[in-house]
Amino acid sequence: MAQHIHIVGICGTFMGGVALLARQLGCQVSGSDANVYPPMSLQLIDAGIVLTEGFSAENLEPRPDLVVMGNALSRGNPEVEAVLDLGLPYVSGPQWLGENVLAGRWVIAVSGTHGKTSTTSMLAWILECAGMEPGFLVGGVPANFGQSACLGRSDFFVVEADEYDTAFFDKRSKFVHYKPRTLVMANLEYDHADIFPDLAAIETQFHHLIRCVPSEGLIIHGDAPAIERVFSRGVWTPRQSFGSQTNNSWSVRALSAAGEQFEVSSPAGAVEVINWSLIGAHNLLNACAAIAASHHAGVPLAIAARALESFAGVKRRLELRGTPAGVAVYDDFAHHPTAIALTLEAMRQRVGADSGRLLAVIEPRSATMKSGHHQATLVAATADADEVFWYEPPGLSWPLGELVAERAGQSVWQQTDKLIDAIAATARSGDVVVIMSNGGFGGIHEKLLQRLGTPANSS
């Protein structure tokens, strides 16, 4: 009889990916979460996984063989308490992944504050195009694959390596469970204020990670002072740098204003020119890192370059949702000042100074944002936008209105319906609207598309 695994907190991108992998391994999988909604719920149901909305001891009937706990759960949750009271065996998602999927495989892990999802998706697609049939787990849905996780048919597995903590009973970062042979450390800044007191605490977790990379492996890293500080604590693995400087082991250079065409140079001096559908300096760095990591796994530079030319992006990473009445509406996951600035810079270059306006719609939703750690740099990150519409979510601990009060073209809204009214009244044909949030944002994307598509806005 197949092992019955029950996943508590199943609808997050990571835990949903774990569920898909368990199902592909032949397990009977069930799960529960506080919010069961598309697209993850549909992806799981299509895989034959039984979902229950809400947490309860009743969700543990019939008794599972193993419970896998999501990291959003804590003591006091009724289902968590029932697992402990009943003495059921339980593990974290990262531990289950490490022991049941990654063990014995060539793990390529992608870590860093920004760009993990995009880089992991690019890397998996490169290996797929090279005929290597990799497994992967991504914190998003790569358009080329249409799913967030796949077991694969080879020894290669590409995983997005998150520094967030593992579970209520394991406060190490998730990525310490992955033991990669190839490790990408793209960048490193302060984030996750709900679990890390400062950047030094995050650097410690990254050093735990590099302690696990074998001496015959490879660390591919970006240029960042924090990364150098991590290395200064000790490193036992060969390294290659990537970046936009000619002295990087792997270098990337834009050949067009927005980055639709660029070139990558290898440590051996080989050069490939790539034309693709993505934009932005940040995505060029992501591509360079993905190419370097795939090269370590045996993919020639030319094959990696051609693969990226057919890379279709990732949902919620500057994803074009529609162009009603000539207004292009994009959805983007940016939730850190650096990511916001890079996204808007990329779109500014594509839009150009003489065409339509760039309108930014931002929800400071993450725990770090809500705590106010980034407020000093947040407004400056929107410099490339012509107008900025801020949504002030419940629980914000600092006065967003006061921060933007003296800024022309910036407004703050507490209700999404009034925010949509304001955007619709402002936007005109030729404009670009970029909506940035790491959450659902009250369904604002579809609501705005519908509103802009009404006759009043399409004349």
Q: Convert the chain into a string of H (helix), E (strand) and C (coil).
A: CCCEEEEECCCCHHHHHHHHHHHHCCCEEEEEECCCCCCHHHHHHHCCCEEEECCCHHHHCCCCCEEEECCCCCCCCHHHHHHHHHCCCEEEHHHHHHHHHHCCCEEEEEECCCCHHHHHHHHHHHHHHCCCCCEEECCCCECCCCCCEECCCCCEEEEECCCCEEECCEEEEHHHHCCCCEEEECCCCCCCCCCCCCHHHHHHHHHHHHCCCCCCCEEEECCCHHHHHHHHCCCCCCEEEEECCCCCCEEEEECCCCCCEEEEECCCCCEEEEECCCCCHHHHHHHHHHHHHHHHCCCCHHHHHHHHHCCCCECCCCEEEECHHHCEEEEECCCCHHHHHHHHHHHHHHHCCCCCCEEEEECCCCHHHHHCCCHHHHCHHHCCCCEEEEECCCCCCCCHHHHHCCCCCEEEECCHHHHHHHHHHHCCCCCEEEEECCCCHHHHHHHHHHHHCCHHHHC
Question: Do residues 336 and 229 both lie within one domain?
Answer: no
Question: Do residues 258 and 358 both lie within one domain?
Answer: no
Looking at residue 142, its pLDDT comes to: 93
Question: Do residues 159 and 259 both lie within one domain?
Answer: yes
Report the range of poorest mean pLDDT among 28-37, 87-96, 436-445. 436-445
CA-angle at 394, arms to 79 and 199, nearest 5°: 80
Most confident of 171-180, 368-377, 441-450: 171-180
Question: Do residues 299 and 342 both lie within one domain?
Answer: no
- Bigger pLDDT: 408 vs 153: 153
Residue 118 phi, psi dihedral angles, 5° rounding? -65, -45
Which CATH number is 413's domain given? 3.90.190.20
Question: Do residues 175 and 295 both lie within one domain?
Answer: yes
Determine the average pLDDT of the residues in 155-164: 96
In this prediction, residue 374 has a pLDDT band, given cuts at 50, 70 and 90, of low
431 in any annotated domain: yes
Which CATH number is 150's domain given? 3.40.1190.10
pLDDT at 289 over 80: yes
pLDDT in tens, 382-439: 999 999 999 988 877 777 777 777 777 888 888 999 999 999 999 999 999 999 998 7
Looking at residue 456, its pLDDT comes to: 47
Question: Do residues 128 and 214 both lie within one domain?
Answer: yes
99 in any annotated domain: no
Q: Average model confidence (pLDDT) for the chain?
A: 92
314 in any annotated domain: no
CA distances from 88 to 78, 101, 170, 390 (A): 14, 22, 17, 45
Question: Do residues 85 and 226 both lie within one domain?
Answer: no
Looking at residue 337, its pLDDT comes to: 86
Residue after which a domain boundary falls, among 249, 274, 309: 309
Question: Do residues 58 and 196 both lie within one domain?
Answer: no
The domain total for the chain is: 3
pTM above 0.75, yes or no: yes
Residue 118, domain extent:
104-309
Question: Do residues 445 and 348 both lie within one domain?
Answer: yes
Determine the average pLDDT of the residues in 180-190: 95
98 in any annotated domain: no
Looking at residue 42, its pLDDT comes to: 84
Q: Are 171 and 163 in contact (CB under 8 A)?
A: no
pLDDT at 458 over 60: no
Residue after which a domain boundary falls, among 93, 114, 133: 93
Looking at residue 367, its pLDDT comes to: 66
Determine the average pLDDT of the residues in 287-311: 98
Which CATH number is 40's domain given? 3.40.50.720
Question: Do residues 249 and 375 both lie within one domain?
Answer: no
Question: Do residues 23 and 152 both lie within one domain?
Answer: no
Residue after which a domain boundary falls, among 309, 340, 357: 309
351 in any annotated domain: yes
> What whole-number percentage of the chain has pLDDT above 70?
96
Determine the average pLDDT of the residues in 333-342: 83
pLDDT at 457 over 50: no
Question: Do residues 213 and 288 both lie within one domain?
Answer: yes
Determine the average pLDDT of the residues in 74-81: 97
